Amino acid sequence: MRQSLNLFRVLLPAALLSGLAACGAVQVKPEPALPRALLQPLPARVALVLDSSLRGYRHEETRYGSDWAVDLGAGHVKMMESMFGASFSDVARFDSLDQAQAALGLQAIFVPGIEQYSFATARDTSGGYWATTIRYRIAVLTPDGTPVDALTLTGYGSARDDGGKGAALSNSSVAAMRDAAAKFLVQLPRQGLAAQLKAGEIVKVTDSIALAVDAIEVVPIEP
């Protein structure tokens, strides 16, 4: 009995420390529900490659004694499918570039990726809100996989410090994703790339093809 009591005394502090460590972990999985885009899709057949690097994208860091983990893959699969489905009349989805290159009748291949994810907590902003920045790079290739150009854009989002830090981070991340999607949908039809595809051409390199929706890279601090 005494031996069991001593063992309990040894294990209790360890259990308490384990519980405290678990309380410091924050895990979120932002998945936006994008509204239906009120625009006419371009009459083009393109491939959308959502590879393993995007599908499994996860941001991890330790800040203020908390471990943060943001699973962005699943949400971005839905976001990219929605974005490209609204932008083009015929979108073939693939899990790898090799699969897309083997497809027939394509005019272009798009391979989106996340270049950077960053966030500011309410403690960082000192304003009772959270802010998130997500920077994207979407590679544009010919049907045989030859690089043509890259589309770059940055999404910004903010959320009030309500409902706990997990909810606030998730909400600001979703807002950033929706912001990026809106920019893509509005800006893409104005580009030379869109003109090529609308004309039924296979995408090729031109001086006017580059799409730079914006070049701001910092987290905006707005109330």
State yes or no: pLDDT of 29 exceeds 80: yes
Q: What is the rounded average pLDDT of the residues 105-115?
A: 97
Domains observed in the chain? 25-198 (3.40.50.10610)
pTM of the model: 0.81
Please write down the HEC assignment for all residues of the chain.
Answer: CHHHHHHHHHHHHHHHHHHHHHHCEEEECCCCCCCCCCCCCEEEEEEEECCHHHHCCEEEEEECCEEEEEECHHHHHHHHHHHHHHHEEEEEEECCHHHHHCCCCCCEEEEEEEEEEEEECHHHHCCCEEEEEEEEEEEEECCCCCEEEEEEEEEEEEEECCCCHHHHHHHHHHHHHHHHHHHHHHHHHHCHHHHHHHCCCCCCCCCCCCCECCCCCCCCCCC
Asked if residue 63 has pLDDT above 50, the reply is: yes
| pLDDT value of position 39 | 81
- The pLDDT assigned to 52 comes to 97
In the predicted structure, residue 96 carries a pLDDT above the cut 80: yes
> Nearest CA to 158 among 175, 170, 181?
175
Residue 207 has pLDDT above 90, yes or no: no
Residue with tokens 């920019």: 183
| pLDDT of res. 206 | 60
**pLDDT of residue 5 exceeding 90:** no
Condensed to tens digits (0 to 9), the pLDDT of residues 138-156 reads 999 999 999 998 899 999 9
Does the pLDDT value for residue 15 go beyond 90?
A: no
Q: Per-residue pLDDT averaged across 88-111, rounded?
A: 97
Axis-axis angle for helices 73-87, 165-187 (nearest 10): 20
**pLDDT of amino acid 32:** 82
